[in-house]
């Protein structure tokens, strides 16, 4: 009759280092972030690359989006026609819903890279195309 198998002793030496994540983006949030999400919230992480002169046309999001500009400079035009310029290393918090319509442009000379985390209602798209708001057209 045999007894339990002996358990091997761990190898001698220093302990293995803790796993380190691959950082996709690292930026500074400069505005307050209120994030209350219901159950069954869709969480998506995406990376956009926009060439010089390129843009993401007028759109809005059904949920909160937090993004870090990882290269280049992002210029967003908001629903009221105002512009926000965000350089690499800074974060943005996108407005929610149709009243928060906006567009994003790369007016620089290098590729714009953005890493975004979307908190969306289950079943909703990442973004919904929209017409340019009147306030932005008048400017």
Position 32 scores a pLDDT of 78
Q: By percentage, how much of the chain surpasses pLDDT 70?
A: 90
Position 5 scores a pLDDT of 61
Pair type for strands 83-87 and 112-121: unpaired
Position 17 scores a pLDDT of 82
10 Å Cβ neighbour count for 76? 17
Q: What is the pTM of this model?
A: 0.79
Q: By percentage, how much of the chain surpasses pLDDT 90?
A: 65
- Quick one: which of 102, 75, 108 has its CA closest to 90? 75
Q: Is 134's pLDDT higher than 70?
A: yes
Is-contact 64 119, C-beta < 8 A? yes
pLDDT digits (tens, 9 = 90+) for 65-113: 999 999 999 999 999 999 999 999 999 999 899 999 999 999 999 999 9
Q: Which residues have a Cβ under 8 Å from the Cβ of 23 and sit 6 or more positions away?
A: none
């Amino acid at each position: 009759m045999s007894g339990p198998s002996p358990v091997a002793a761990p190898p001698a030496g220093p302990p293995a280092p803790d796993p380190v994540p691959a950082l996709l983006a690292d930026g500074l949030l400069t505005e307050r972030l209120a994030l209350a999400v219901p159950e069954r919230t869709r969480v998506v992480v995406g990376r956009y690359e926009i060439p010089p002169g390129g843009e993401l046309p007028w759109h809005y999001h059904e949920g909160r989006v937090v993004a870090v500009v990882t290269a280049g400079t992002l210029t967003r035009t908001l629903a009221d026609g105002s512009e926000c310029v965000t350089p690499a290393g800074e974060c943005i918090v996108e407005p929610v819903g149709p009243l928060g319509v906006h567009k994003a442009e790369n007016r620089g000379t290098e590729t714009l890279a953005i890493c975004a985390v979307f908190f969306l209602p289950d079943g909703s798209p990442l973004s919904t195309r929209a017409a340019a708001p009147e306030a932005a057209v008048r400017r």
